[in-house]
């Protein structure tokens, strides 16, 4: 794609919007020209941080940006797009950042639309290296795909063009390997805290578990009492969880142990 001077308007004030704004504002040529947030104070805070124009009023949105990026929750994409369509050209390129929402959700209002999806978890207070993140692009036409791909490539080298179905599968996988384990981490954190034990004692184990699946398939890395069919240890753990009123952990432990037991038949 030939060099273009990007003019990006970022709509949203959440975790992803924060990190994208920070990254775009640090690029040569200052491609981030404006940020929008529903809250006037949030809009001002982000605009000052990213050294760009800001607004909480869609009537003041830049009219000639090359990309309008909706970093809002899935259930807000359509409503924000509808409102935005009253103030920018119908042929403007508008994209969202959701892993599970189809690109075509934007089609009722814009002829050029797409998705710019980063496969990563974002928290404002946690720094991350944007260049390590895989990006997945969906677009309504070649020109839109090229511009979205160009935009993502300014942030990281790994950029792939996918359809909505593929992106949904990736998002499902991301939820399973990130959100669900983190929920278990939180249950364990609270359990150990109640028993005056330090959660950080588990960090070397957690890091080793992740390290293993970088070099071997997950099934080869599986260990534990359920794989060994060690019913005595499983029962001890379940009894402890029952006695300590850990109902959520009890359900998770019992279900996952059952699934692992079935998968690894004793030979």
- Of 162, 190, 214, the last residue of a domain is 162
CA distance 51 to 150: 22
Tens digits of residue pLDDT in 113-131:
999 999 999 999 999 999 9
Report if residue 51 sits inside a domain. Answer: yes
Helix (H) or strand (E) holding 258: helix 247-263
Asked if 161 and 137 count as a contact pair (C-beta separation under 8 A), the reply is yes
Tens digits of residue pLDDT in 225-242:
999 999 999 999 999 999
- The C-alpha angle 161, 99, 221, rounded to 5 degrees, equals 90
Number of domains in the chain: 2
Same domain? 56 vs 23 = yes
Same domain? 143 vs 212 = no
CATH number of the structural domain spanning residue 68 = 3.40.50.720
pLDDT of residue 155: 95
Report if residue 126 sits inside a domain. Answer: yes
Report if residue 3 sits inside a domain. Answer: no
CA distance 151 to 163: 18
Domain coverage including residue 67 = 8-162
Same domain? 131 vs 77 = yes
Mean pLDDT of the chain: 95
- Whether 193 shows a pLDDT value over 60: the answer reads yes
Tens digits of residue pLDDT in 240-252:
999 999 999 999 9
Task: Look at 28-32, 67-71, 188-192 and tell me which has the smallest mean pLDDT.
Answer: 28-32
Report if residue 1 sits inside a domain. Answer: no
Asked if 191 and 246 count as a contact pair (C-beta separation under 8 A), the reply is yes
Report if residue 2 sits inside a domain. Answer: no
pLDDT of residue 119: 97
CATH number of the structural domain spanning residue 226 = 1.10.1040.20
Same domain? 57 vs 188 = no
- Whether 4 shows a pLDDT value over 70: the answer reads no
Same domain? 230 vs 245 = yes
Distance of alpha carbon 35 from its chain centroid, rounded? Answer: 20
pLDDT of residue 87: 96
pLDDT of residue 156: 96
Write out the two tokens for 5.
Answer: 């001077």
pLDDT of residue 1: 47
- Of 113, 130, 162, the last residue of a domain is 162
- Whether 57 shows a pLDDT value over 60: the answer reads yes
Same domain? 98 vs 201 = no
pLDDT of residue 70: 98
Tens digits of residue pLDDT in 130-145:
999 999 999 999 999 9
């Amino acid at each position: 794609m030939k060099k273009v001077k990007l003019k990006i308007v970022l709509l949203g004030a959440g975790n992803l919007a924060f990190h994208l704004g920070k990254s775009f504002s640090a690029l040569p040529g200052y491609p981030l020209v404006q940020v929008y947030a529903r809250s006037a104070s949030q809009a001002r805070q982000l605009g000052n941080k990213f050294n760009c124009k800001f607004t909480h009023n869609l009537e003041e949105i830049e009219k000639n940006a090359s990309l309008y990026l909706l970093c809002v929750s899935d259930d807000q994409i359509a409503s924000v797009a509808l409102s935005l369509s009253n103030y920018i050209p119908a042929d403007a390129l508008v994209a969202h950042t959701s892993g599970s929402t189809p690109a075509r959700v934007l089609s009722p209002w814009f002829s050029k639309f797409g998705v710019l999806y980063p496969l990563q978890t974002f928290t404002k207070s946690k720094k991350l290296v944007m260049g390590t993140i895989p990006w997945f692009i969906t677009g309504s036409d070649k020109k839109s795909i090229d511009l979205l791909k160009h935009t993502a490539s300014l942030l990281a080298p790994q950029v792939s063009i996918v359809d909505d179905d593929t992106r949904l599968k990736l998002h499902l996988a991301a939820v399973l390997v990130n959100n669900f384990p983190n929920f278990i981490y939180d249950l364990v954190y609270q359990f150990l805290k109640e028993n005056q034990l330090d959660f950080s004692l588990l960090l070397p184990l957690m890091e080793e578990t992740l390290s293993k699946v970088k070099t071997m398939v997950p099934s080869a890395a599986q260990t534990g009492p359920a794989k060994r069919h060690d019913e005595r240890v499983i029962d001890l753990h379940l009894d402890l969880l029952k006695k300590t009123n850990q109902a959520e952990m009890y359900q998770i432990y019992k279900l996952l142990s059952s699934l692992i037991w079935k998968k690894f038949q004793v030979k």
